[in-house]
Amino acid sequence: MGDQYKVIGKMAATPAPPATILLVTAGATKRCWLTELHIGTLNGAALAGTTISVGRPTTAGTGGAAYTPLPDDTAAPPAIFTALSSSSVFSAEPTQPATYIWQIGLDAVASYIWIPPKPIIIPLNGRLAVRVEADNSTVKVQWVATCTIEE
């Protein structure tokens, strides 16, 4: 088992889907894995339905705010991977693939936890994004995602 880190992505504003919440990029020398995802809202109101996805973007896009991964073990070395939060809006969204690793339809009544049956690898220099794909509600909400990443 490697070192585990937490990264948090949260929306700076109510999104116009599709909108990236969090983008993780593995380093050039070390792979990493998504082992757990918590997703919920910052300004929860009942939704008609939202689609959240996890996928591997083909481009990084532009914008986002750098987020320093926090180690579960304070004696762990700094993370090699990097993360961008939408707490500073992406001016150009990362380009998403045609096929996603995981998607779920949600409402904003509660927070949700997803633990993949097998950790999702982020290959060397590869990316993984958590996104709002569609929002059918009349009251838009800001999403927050907390990921556990293992290196």
pLDDT tens, residue by residue, 120-145: 999 999 999 999 887 776 667 788 99
**Confidence grade of residue 15 (pLDDT, cut at 50, 70, 90):** confident
Please report, for the chain, the start and end positions of each structural domain, with discontinuous segments joined by +.
4-150
pLDDT reported for residue 40: 86
**Confidence grade of residue 69 (pLDDT, cut at 50, 70, 90):** very high
* 109-144 CB burial, b ≥16 within 10 A, e <16: eeeeebeeeeebebeeebbbbbbbbebeeeebbbbb
pLDDT reported for residue 132: 87
**Confidence grade of residue 27 (pLDDT, cut at 50, 70, 90):** very high
* 70-103 CB burial, b ≥16 within 10 A, e <16: eeeeeeeeebbbbbbbbbebbeebbebeeebeee
**Confidence grade of residue 20 (pLDDT, cut at 50, 70, 90):** very high
pLDDT reported for residue 14: 78
Residue 44 has pLDDT above 70, yes or no: no
Residues 6+ apart with CB under 8 A from 47: 106, 107, 108, 135, 136, 137, 139, 141
Q: Which residue has the higher pLDDT, 71 or 91?
A: 71
The CATH architecture that domain 4-150 belongs to is: Sandwich (2.60)
Residue 87 has pLDDT above 60, yes or no: yes
pLDDT tens, residue by residue, 48-64: 678 889 999 999 889 89
**Confidence grade of residue 22 (pLDDT, cut at 50, 70, 90):** very high
